[in-house]
């Protein structure tokens, strides 16, 4: 498969919509060290679970607004009344388990930040601060999970995070640029 074939492959996820292509070209796999962005990606991965990433991107602004502009402390302080309000908010995926996970993860993140200083320091320590680069020549070979994601998932669950299974964490780590699984076509 050459670059032109890859660019035209309809089943390659970034080619499904202009929104996905833009995200892939401008964000996905780009190393990020911005705590707000890293938390936003985690929230979006939770919201997208079982659905499509395209839907999460379309609702991205609404998700941020509904969840206190992604302010960890304000989300962590949310109680039953706020949850009830969120479950009525059409800007987000109105799923009680996902809303509860975002709030629980904000609380777990407060504890994590008290220990690590930043989400960035925590996320990147698993790779010694270095991006893991995959060497894939065919997008059909891209893995759905990785040993790194398994490790991060287990550690985050131990710390009280929820909705952080290995597949979600693999997607998260790719989005944050900790893992770069861009397809590199050499022929």
| Catalytic residue annotation | 23, 45, 53
Q: 132 in helix, strand or coil?
A: strand
Longest dimension (CA), the chain: 57
Using CA atoms, how far apart are residues 171 and 143, in angstroms rounded to an integer?
10
Instruction: Tell me the torsion sign for CA atoms 48, 157, 170, 118.
Output: positive
The Cα–Cα gap between 86 and 78 comes to 10
40 closest CA partner among 72, 77, 7, 1: 72
- End-to-end, the C-alpha distance of the chain in Å comes to 7
């Amino acid at each position: 498969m050459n670059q032109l074939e890859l660019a035209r492959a309809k089943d390659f996820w970034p080619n499904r919509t202009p929104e996905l292509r833009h995200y892939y070209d401008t964000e996905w796999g780009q190393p990020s060290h911005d705590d707000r962005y890293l938390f936003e990606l985690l929230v979006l991965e939770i919201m997208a679970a079982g659905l499509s990433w395209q839907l999460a991107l379309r609702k991205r602004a609404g998700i941020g607004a509904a969840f206190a502009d992604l302010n960890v402390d304000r989300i962590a302080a949310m109680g039953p009344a706020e949850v009830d309000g969120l479950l009525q908010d059409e800007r987000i995926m109105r799923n009680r388990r996902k809303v509860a996970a975002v709030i629980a993860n904000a609380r777990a993140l407060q504890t994590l930040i008290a220990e690590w200083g930043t989400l960035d320091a925590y996320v990147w320590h698993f790779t010694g601060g270095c991006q893991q680069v995959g060497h894939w020549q065919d997008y059909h070979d891209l893995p759905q999970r990785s040993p790194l994601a398994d490790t991060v998932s287990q550690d985050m669950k131990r710390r009280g995070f929820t909705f952080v299974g290995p597949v979600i964490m693999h997607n998260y780590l790719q989005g944050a640029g900790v893992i770069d699984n861009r397809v590199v076509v050499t022929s």
